[in-house]
């Protein structure tokens, strides 16, 4: 039964409830699910975090290794985000070559992190043009109950804040004798994504799996602060139904306060 | 102080555009769309039977989009074959086009849209959508309207239209932001929206307005290309 898609009856019920601003779990339409962050998923990782957001559960690990820089950024470290939608986490995830959602998730997190500038990649250069740190972030859901991207964004940021740089021995990473150094992260710029979903004319944030599957459209925004100002860093519209201009503007207007409130909660967990 | 664009364009000035329809005789519909030095071509094949059969949908036709860069369209040769980037752009392009086409009646069939970039100078996905939109119309696929697409950019603190390759690498101040958008022309339906960079939330309404003005100009180019194709056919 668990693999069945949301029935039309559920969809109709949700459509009516959303119009009245009601949800099965009693939250308001733009209320984020509660979340908590744990660390030390794996002591072998340079940094790691586990985020439980409602029943959605995601682990994120950071590994670092020494590599050549990219030709267009010889004096900067490299950033790589990947991950997989493990069949472990949902009856809807299947083994085999990555489907679109599995490609999209890490790319959205990559863009949020990269464009916000939260990591000062120029401080991860060892020898210009020759040797730099590559920061590899891997994201794996353990249980997907909706709003996976938003939980993953919090997990990625927490794991980066938790990362300790390895030592260096003969131009290779020394994972036994680690430094005590953290990554060169901005104190101010801490990006988070918020994904809004649409069913009929209703907009809803942080859906459960059931709500998410009933919805027809979604839009993800990455937001952070930079020089005292809120900045949108990334955006991606998904699913088949378009958004109207007033819907986009309404969503964007809620973002700064939503970000400030969520950041306050997140900061309690950041080490 | 207003920003001066290196290429001499006004902030809300698009690159010179051109378009041509019916460029691939084998295809059921085809078109080219040019933004400055960015050249996209698109072909539509279908509706045709979808194989393998188990992928067929008895309730509706399927739109299947493939976007890619030709290997010599960029400075560092692009390895042929799909990349994560091209797979993502293929999918968001498909979602950008889908709300405008009416393919419910073409049950069990597929409409294949193939988009290739001959020359890349920023704005390849938007040029590709504009070309594909015309190719769909040229193939006679029932459509609500044409799909128009453009990227709004931001250089430091200033919104601009249709950034080129050089502007994409602008690093001063708040740097370069890319905000590609597509809209079903004549409706209030935005079917593609992506962004990377640094854009203050309060600038979104103005960015959408700028895109709307650009869509008028893009639509004219698309419409004229389709019209001259049709009138050319009459002469033959």
d(CA A271, CA A67): 27
Q: Is the pLDDT of residue A131 over 60?
A: yes
Q: Scanning every residue of chain A, which has its alpha carbon at the shortest distance from the alpha carbon of B177?
A: A233
In angstroms, the separation between the Cα of residue A35 and the nearest Cα of chain B is 25
- Residue A64: pLDDT over 50: yes
Nearest CA in chain A to B86: A103
Predicted confidence band at B235 (pLDDT cuts at 50, 70, 90)? very low
Average pLDDT over residues A152-167: 97
| Measured distance CA(A79)–CA(A71) in Å, rounded | 14
User: Does residue B141 contact residue B97 with C-beta atoms inside 8 Å?
Assistant: no
Please tell me the distance from the alpha carbon of residue B124 to that of residue A38, in angstroms, as a whole number. 42
Q: Are A141 and A85 in contact (CB under 8 A)?
A: yes
* C-beta atoms of A240 and B198 within 8 A: no
- Residue B218, number of CB atoms within 10 A of its CB: 28
B88–A226: do the CB atoms touch at under 8 Å?
Answer: no
Helix (H) or strand (E) holding B223: helix B204-235
CATH of A8-269 given 3.40.1010.10, 3.40.50.880, 3.90.1170.50, 3.30.230.70: 3.30.230.70
Contact at CB, A242 and B189, closer than 8 angstroms: yes
Q: Does A230 touch chain B (CB under 8 A)?
A: yes
Quick check: A122 and A76 in contact, CB under 8 A?
Answer: yes
Residues of A in contact with B99 (CB under 8 A): 240-242
> With bands split at pLDDT 50, 70 and 90, how would you rate the model's confidence at A3?
very low
CB B173 within 8 A of CB B157: yes
**Using beta carbons and an 8 Å cutoff, which residues of B are at the interface with A?**
76, 84, 87-88, 91-92, 95, 98-99, 174, 179, 183-184, 187-201, 204-205, 208
| Nearest-neighbour CA in chain A from B228: distance (Å) | 30
How much is the pLDDT for A4? Answer: 56
The per-residue pLDDT for B55 is: 86
How are the residues of chain A apportioned to helix, strand and coil, as percentages rounded to the nearest 5? 30, 35, 40
Give me the DSSP letters along A1-58. -TTSPPPHHHHHHHHHHHHTT--TT---TTPPPPEEEEE-S-TTSSEEEEEEETTEEE
pLDDT tens-digit map of B9-21: 999 999 999 999 9
Using an 8 Å CB-CB cutoff, list chain A residues near B190. Answer: 237, 242-245, 248
pLDDT digits (tens, 9 = 90+) for A9-59: 889 999 999 999 999 999 999 999 999 999 999 999 999 999 999 999 999
- Give the CA-trace dihedral at B100, B103, B105, B108, to 10 degrees: -160
Please report how the helices B124-138 and B84-97 are oriented relative to each other, as an axis angle in degrees rounded to 10: 50
3-state secondary structure of A208: coil
B147 forms beta bridges with: B184
Share of chain B above pLDDT 90, in %: 89
Distance in Å, alpha carbon of A178 to nearest chain B alpha carbon: 33
**Residue A177 C-alpha, separation from nearest chain B C-alpha, in angstroms:** 35
Summarised one tens digit per residue, pLDDT across range A221-240 is: 999 999 999 999 999 999 99
Strands (E) located in B102-199:
109-119, 147-155, 158-161, 176-184, 189-199
For the CA atoms of A254, A258, A260, A264, the dihedral, rounded to the nearest 10 degrees, stands at 170
**Chain A with chain B: Cβ pairs closer than 8 A:** 94
Tell me if A237 and B190 make a contact (CB, 8 A cut-off): yes
A5 touches chain B (CB under 8 A): no
Residue A18 near residue A199 (C-beta atoms within 8 A): yes
Across the interface, do A237 and B199 touch by the CB < 8 Å criterion? no
Model pLDDT for residues A65-110, shown as the tens digit of each residue: 999 999 989 999 999 999 999 999 998 898 888 889 999 999 999 9
* A47 DSSP β-pair partners: A62
Tell me the C-alpha distance between B222 and B189, whole Å: 18
Q: How many CA atoms lie within 13 A of A235 on its CB side?
A: 25
Q: Which residue has the higher pLDDT, B54 or A65?
A: A65
Can you tell me the mean pLDDT for B200-210? Answer: 98
- Give B233's pLDDT tier (boundaries 50, 70, 90): low
Taking an 8 Å cut-off on Cβ atoms, the answer to whether B208 and A234 are in contact is no
Entry field: residues in chain B: 236
Provide the chain A residues 68-127 that lie in CB contact (below 8 A) with chain B.
Answer: 71, 100, 103-104, 107, 111, 114-116
- Continuous segment of H or E residues that includes residue B209: helix B204-235
Closest residue in chain A to residue B204, using alpha carbons only:
A249
Q: Do A232 and B184 touch (CB under 8 A)?
A: no
Question: Nearest CA of chain A to the CA of B84: how many Å?
Answer: 7
- Check residues A91 and B66 and name the one with the higher pLDDT: B66
Instruction: Kindly state the percentage of chain A with pLDDT values over 70.
Output: 98
- Optimal mutation site among B159, B193, B206, B209, interface A, most CBs of chain A within 10 A: B193
Question: For residue B179, which residues of chain A lie inside 8 Å, CB to CB?
Answer: 235
pLDDT for B180 equals 98
DSSP state of B15: P
Of A100, A104, A243, the CB nearest to B190: A243
What is the per-residue pLDDT across A11-20, written as a single tens digit (0 to 9) for each?
999 999 999 9
Q: Which is nearest to A86 in space by CA: A96, A77, A78, A72?
A: A96
Mean of the pLDDT values across residues B169-193?
96
Confidence check: pLDDT of A271 > 80: no
Q: Which helix (H) or strand (E) holds B18?
A: strand B17-21
CB atoms within 10 A of CB A128: 12
Q: How far is A164 from chain B (nearest CA, A)?
A: 27
Which residue stretches of chain A are H helix?
A: 8-19, 100-116, 148-161, 209-214, 245-269
| Mean per-residue pLDDT of chain B | 95
If you search the block for the tokens 């290779």, which residue do you land on? A172
Confidence bin at B51 (pLDDT 50/70/90): confident
Rg of chain B on CA atoms, in Å: 18
Distance between CA atoms of residues B111 and B97, nearest Å? 12
What's the gap in Å between the CA of A67 and the closest CA on chain B? 20
Q: Is the minimum CB–CB distance between A249 and chain B shorter than 8 Å?
A: yes
- Determine which helix (DSSP H) or strand (DSSP E) holds B211, and give its type and residue range: helix B204-235
Q: Given this model, what pLDDT does residue B201 score?
A: 98
pLDDT at A7: 78
Q: Name the 3-class secondary structure at A129.
A: coil
Query: From the CA atom positions of chain A, what is the Rg in Å?
Result: 19
């Amino acid at each position: 039964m668990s693999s069945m898609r949301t029935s039309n009856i559920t969809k109709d019920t949700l459509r009516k409830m959303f119009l009245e601003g009601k949800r099965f779990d009693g939250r308001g339409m733009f209320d984020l699910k509660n979340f908590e962050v744990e660390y030390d998923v794996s002591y072998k990782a340079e940094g790691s975090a586990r985020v439980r957001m409602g029943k959605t559960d995601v682990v994120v690990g950071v590994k670092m290794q020494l590599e050549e820089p990219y030709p267009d950024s010889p004096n900067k470290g490299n950033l790589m985000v990947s991950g997989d939608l493990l069949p472990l986490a949902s009856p809807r995830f299947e083994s085999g070559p990555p489907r679109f959602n599995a490609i999209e998730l890490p790319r959205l997190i990559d863009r949020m992190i990269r464009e916000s500038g939260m990591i000062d990649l120029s401080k991860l250069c060892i020898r210009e043009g020759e040797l730099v740190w590559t920061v590899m972030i891997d994201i794996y859901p353990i249980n997907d109950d909706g709003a996976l991207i938003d939980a993953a964004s919090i997990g990625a940021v927490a794991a980066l804040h938790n990362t300790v740089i390895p030592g260096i021995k003969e131009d290779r990473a020394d994972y036994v004798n680690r430094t005590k150094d953290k990554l060169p992260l901005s104190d101010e710029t801490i990006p988070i994504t918020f994904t809004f979903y649409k069913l009929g004319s209703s907009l809803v944030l942080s859906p459960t799996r059931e709500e998410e599957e009933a919805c027809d459209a979604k839009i993800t925004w990455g937001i952070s602060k930079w020089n005292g100002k809120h900045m949108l860093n990334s955006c991606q519209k998904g699913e088949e139904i378009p958004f109207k201009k007033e819907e986009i503007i309404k969503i964007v207007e809620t973002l700064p306060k939503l970000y400030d409130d969520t950041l306050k909660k997140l900061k309690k967990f950041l080490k | 102080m207003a920003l001066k664009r290196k290429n001499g364009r006004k902030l809300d000035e698009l690159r010179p555009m051109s378009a041509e329809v019916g460029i691939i005789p084998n295809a059921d519909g085809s078109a080219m769309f040019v933004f400055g030095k960015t050249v996209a071509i698109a072909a539509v094949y279908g509706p045709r039977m979808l194989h393998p059969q188990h992928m067929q949908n008895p309730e509706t036709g399927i739109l299947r989009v493939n976007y890619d860069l030709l290997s010599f369209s960029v400075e560092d040769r692009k390895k042929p074959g799909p990349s994560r980037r091209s797979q993502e752009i293929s999918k968001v392009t498909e979602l950008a086009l889908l709300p405008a086409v009416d393919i419910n009646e073409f049950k069990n069939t597929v409409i294949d849209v193939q988009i290739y970039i001959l020359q890349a100078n920023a704005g390849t996905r938007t040029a590709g959508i504009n070309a594909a939109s015309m190719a769909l119309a040229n193939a006679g696929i029932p459509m609500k309207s044409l799909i128009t697409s453009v990227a709004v950019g931001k250089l430091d603190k200033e919104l601009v239209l249709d950034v080129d390759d050089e502007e994409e690498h602008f690093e001063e101040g708040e740097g370069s932001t890319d905000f590609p958008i597509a809209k079903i022309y004549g409706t209030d339906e935005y079917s593609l929206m992506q962004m990377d960079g640094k854009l203050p939330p309060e600038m979104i309404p103005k960015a959408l307005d700028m895109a709307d003005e650009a869509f008028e100009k893009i639509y004219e180019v698309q419409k004229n290309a389709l019209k001259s194709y049709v009138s050319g056919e009459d002469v033959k």
